[in-house]
Structure 1
C-alpha cells in the first residue's frame, strides 16, 4: 500500500516515476564485468523450486500429535518468517536496484525478488495444510500486531528507504542471514526428530536460497566497502555493529516470547548468534558472538542445515529431497484436534 501511495503522490505532484534514459543498452551475458553475477544466476536458476510440488498435507499426522503449545510455536515462527519474506519481496531486492554495479547484477536481483515471493507464499501453503481458516486469521493478526516483529520490519525498511547503498546491503544480509533463523530453528528441530518432514523440506529449500542471497549481497557490499576511504569505512562499521546490537536485543525478546513456553529459548538464542556471525562473515567481518559457534548449536538443528537438499554453502545444487509427491487428501475431520 505504501508503494502505491508514493506512486500516486509522485503523479499528483507532477514528478516522474520513470527513469530518464537517453538510450537502452542490451545486456550481454557473454561479456561479463563480474563473473560472480553469472555464477550466482546459474546457481539460483539451477535450484528453482515451487511450494506446490511438496506434499505438505502429508505432515498432518505429525501435526495432530503436537501439543497445543508446540503448534502455537510453529505457527508464530512461520508467521514471523512470512512477514520478513514479504518485506524482502516488496522492498528488499527492489531498493538494491538503485545501486547495481552491472546489468547482470540487476538480473540476479530480479531472480531474488521473485524467489522471495515464492518463499512468502510457501508459508501460506504450510498454514492452509495444517490449520483451519479461522486459526490462520488469528495467526496473521498476531504477526501483524506483534511489537517485536514490527520493530524488525520497521528498522530494516527504514534503512531500505533512507540508507546508503552499502547500508541497504548490510540490512538485507542481516535479515536473510540472521533474523530469519529464530524462525528456522523450529522446523529444523522437528526434522531432526523425524516430524513435519515435508514442512522442513520447504524450509530447507528456503534456507538454501537465503544462503545464496546473503552471500551474494555480502560480496557486493565488500566491493563497495573496499572502495571507501578509511574514515568512511570506520563510519559504516560503527553503524553496522550498532545496528546488529539493536536487532539482537529485540531478537532475544522475540525469541523469549515465542519459545519460553516450550523451553527452547536458550538454544534458539545460540542458533541466532551463530547465524549473526555468519551474516558478518558474508559481509567480510569476523565473528562477533563467542557463543555463536557450530559446536554450541543443538546438533540436531545443525544437522538440518547439512542435508543434501540444504547444504549451508554457496555451491549446493538442487537436492534429492526436492521430489514431487502424492498429497494426502484432506477431510473436514482433519481440523478436529
Structure 2
C-alpha cells in the first residue's frame, strides 16, 4: 500500500462542499456549519471541552507553599521529576495536536483539535505555575531540565518522540493514525503513575492545591482521549485499506512497550513513596491500557487486569466507563478560585 503524503489543508476552498468528504485527505470549503457535519455528536464533544475551561492561577496554592518543604526528601524528589515528565509530554502534545489539525479536512475536527491544543498549553503552563508556587526559580529551571537529561525519562519518551517526529517529516494517513495512537497512550496511560502520586499525597492531606490542579488536567485528558479514540475509529472507517493486521499488531506492540516503560518508570519514581503499592500501580497501568484498547475498538491485552486495583483513585479521577457526571458534583474537594481574600498575595 502506497503511503501517500498529505498536503496541509487550505484555509478556504469555496468550490468544495461545506460538509467535509473525509476527516483527512478529503475535500471541504473550510466553512464550518456545526449543523451540517459528518459526525454530529462531535458538537457535543466540542461543547464538553469548552465547559471544562479553567486557569491555573485560579487554584489556591497557599497551603502547598507551606507544605512542600515539610514533605520527605523522597516525596520532593518524586514531585519534581513527575512535574518534569508531565511538562515534557504536554509540551510535545500541544504541538502534535496543532500539527494534526493542519491536515484535518473536516473543519469540525480542526475546531475540536484547536480547543484540545489550547488546553494542553494550559496544562503545560500549570506545571510552571505549580513549581513557581513551591520552589525558587533556579529549582524550577533545574526541574524542567530533567525532561531532557534523565536517562530513564528519555528512554520512556523515545518511542512517542520518534512517532511524532516521523509524522512531522512524512504527513501521511498512516503516520497520522500512528500519532493518534500515541496520543491515546499519552492521554490515557503515560500520565497516570504521575497522577496517582499527587492523588496519594492528597489523601494524606498533603499538597491538595497541586492535586486539585492535577484533577482538572485529568478531567481534560479523559475528554481528549475519548475524542482521539473516536477520531482513530472514524479515520479507519473512512480508510479501510489502513485497517490491517499489520497496523493492529503494531498497535498491540506499542501498547506493550508503553506498559513496560510506564511500569519501569513508576518503580523508579514511586519507590519508597508512602501509600503507593508498586504492584498495584503496575496492575493499574495494565488496567488503563485495557481501557484504552477498548476505546479504539481492540480487545484487551491483559485479561488479569480488567478491574481497577487502586479503587481509591476513583475519588480523584473520572472514569471512561461510567456515565459522565458534573466534575464539581463528584469531587470531595471544592473548586476554590484564588482571590485577594484567600491567599493569592501569599504566593
Cα distance 1:95–1:231, how it changes in 2: closer, same or farther (>3 A)?
A: closer
TM-score by length of 1: 0.83
Query: What is the CA–CA distance in structure 1 between the aligned matches of 2:124 and 2:322, rounded to whole Å?
Result: 22
Task: Report the TM-score, using the length of structure 2 for normalisation.
Answer: 0.81
The CA deviation at 1:207 is 0.6
Q: Does 2:68 correspond to 1:43?
A: no
Match of 1:305 in 2: 317
Q: 1:179 aligns with which of 177, 187, 190?
A: 190
2:328 counterpart of 1:319: yes
Larger mean Cα displacement after TM superposition, 285-294 or 75-84: 285-294
Match of 2:79 among 64, 74, 77: 74
**Which residue of structure 1 lines up, in the alignment, with residue 26 of structure 2?**
none
User: How many Å apart are 1:99 and its aligned residue?
Assistant: 4.6
1:285-296 matches, cutoff 5 A: 285-296=298-309
Alignment of 1:1-337 (within 5 A): 19=10, 22-23=13-14, 25-90=30-95, 92-100=96-104, 102-163=106-167, 164=174, 165-229=176-240, 232-262=243-273, 264=276, 265-297=278-310, 299-306=311-318, 315-319=324-328, 321-325=334-338, 326-327=342-343, 329-330=345-346
What is the total number of aligned residue pairs between the two structures? 311
Unaligned runs of 5+ in 2: 1-6, 15-28, 168-173
Q: Tell me how far apart the structure 2 counterparts of residues 322 and 166 of structure 1 sit (CA, whole Å).
A: 36
Aligned partner of residue 296 in structure 1, secondary structure: coil
Mapped contact 2:8–2:103 kept (Cα < 8 A):
no
CA 194–290 in structure 1, closer or farther in 2 if over 3 Å, else same: farther
Question: What's the offset of the Cα at 1:28?
Answer: 1.3
How far apart are the structure 1 equivalents of 2:271 and 2:288?
20
Q: Structure 2 CA distance, aligned partners of 1:225 and 1:185?
A: 33
Structure 1 residues 291 and 52: alpha-carbon distance in aligned structure 2, compared to 1, 3 A threshold: farther
- Are the counterparts in 1 of residues 9 and 105 from structure 2 also a CA contact under 8 Å? no
Contact between 2:9 and 2:102, CA under 8 Å: does it hold in 1?
no
Return the alpha-carbon distance in structure 2 between the equivalents of residues 313 and 178 of structure 1.
Answer: 18
CA deviation digits over 1:200-254, x for unaligned, max 9? 1111100110001001010111122234558842111100011112222222222
- After superposition, give the CA deviation of every residue in 1:282-305 in whole Å (9 maximum; x if it has no partner): 2122322234344422x3323222
The 3 A distance-change label for structure 1 pair 261 and 134 is farther
Equivalent pair of 1:212/1:314 in contact (CA under 8 Å): no
Instruction: Report the RMSD for the aligned CA atoms in angstroms.
Output: 2.6
Is the 8 Å Cα contact of residues 90 and 121 (structure 2) preserved in structure 1?
Answer: yes
Tell me the distance in 2 between the aligned counterparts of 1:198 and 1:145.
28
Greater per-residue helix proportion: 1
Q: SS at the partner of 2:295?
A: helix
Cα distance in 2 between the residues matched to 1:252 and 1:89: 25
1:278: how far off?
2.0
